[in-house]
Structure 1
Amino acid sequence: MRIMMNSTQVSYFTLATYFDTGVFKYLYFLIILSLYVFIVCANLLLIVVICMNRSLHEPMYLFLCSLFVNELYGSTGLFPFLLVQILSDIHTVSAPFCLLQMFCVYTYGSLCGNIINIVYCDNYSIMKLACYETRATVLTYMC
C-alpha cells in the first residue's frame, strides 16, 4: 500500500502590504527607530527604578513592572522586523522567522491563557488563547 502525501514546502512569504516609499523610507525608518528606542529606554528605566527602590516593591508596582516587561517583549517582537522591512526593497520573510514572529505576537497578548483543549496546535486554538475574536477567522476558513 502506497501513501501519497500532499505537502508544500514554503521557504519564504511575500508581504504584499508594503509599498515603495521612495526616498521617504529613510524618514519612516528614523521615525520608527526613534519610537522603538524610546519604548525600550522608557520601559527599562521604569523597570530599573521599580527594582532598585525597595519602597516600590508592592503588588501594584510589581504589576506595573510586569506590564513594562510585557511591552518590551511585544515591541521587540514587532519593531526590529518592521525596521528591516522598511529598508528592504524585497519584502519577504523566511518561514521560520514568520513563525517566530507569530509566536511572539500571540504570546505577547496571552494574559488570557495557555491551555489548548485539543491534541494538536492550530491557528484557531492559538487565537483563542490570545484573546482574539475568532468568529471572523472561522468564517474565513469556511469560505
Structure 2
Amino acid sequence: MITRMHAALARLRAGRQAEHGAVSIEFLAGSVVVFAAVLIGLQALLAMHSLSQANSAARNAARAESIVAGSGVAAGNSAVSESLRAGTTTSCANAAEIRCTTTVSVPVLNISWLEERVPPMQVSRTAVFPRTEP
C-alpha cells in the first residue's frame, strides 16, 4: 500500500514537471496579443485624429474662400496641425457654391521604418459653403 502511494505521488510529480514552463509560455503569448491590440488601438486613434484635422481644415478653407476668393487653400493648410501638414493637400472650387476638399496622410504609428513598409493611408473631407455676394 505504501508503494502504491509512492507510485501515485511519483506520477503526480512527473505530471507537474511535464507542465513546467507552461505558464511562462501562456503569459508570453498573452502579452503579444495585448501588445498588438494596443498598437491597433493607437493606429485607430491616429486615423481619427487625422480625420478630425481634415474636417476642420476643409471647413476653415471653405469659410475663408467664401469671405475672400483665393484664400481657402492657405487657410485649409494652416488649419492642420504641424505634425500632419507635410502630407496635406487642400483644393477649393468656386462655382454656384464653394466646395473645399482637404486630404491628410495618416501616419503609421509615427515609426519611419514602418511607414516605408505599409501602404500610405489618406483621409479626405469636403466642406460646402454658400457663395456670399459682397
Give the structure-2-normalised TM-score.
Answer: 0.34
The structure showing larger relative contact order (alpha-carbon pairs under 8 Å, at least 6 residues apart) is 1
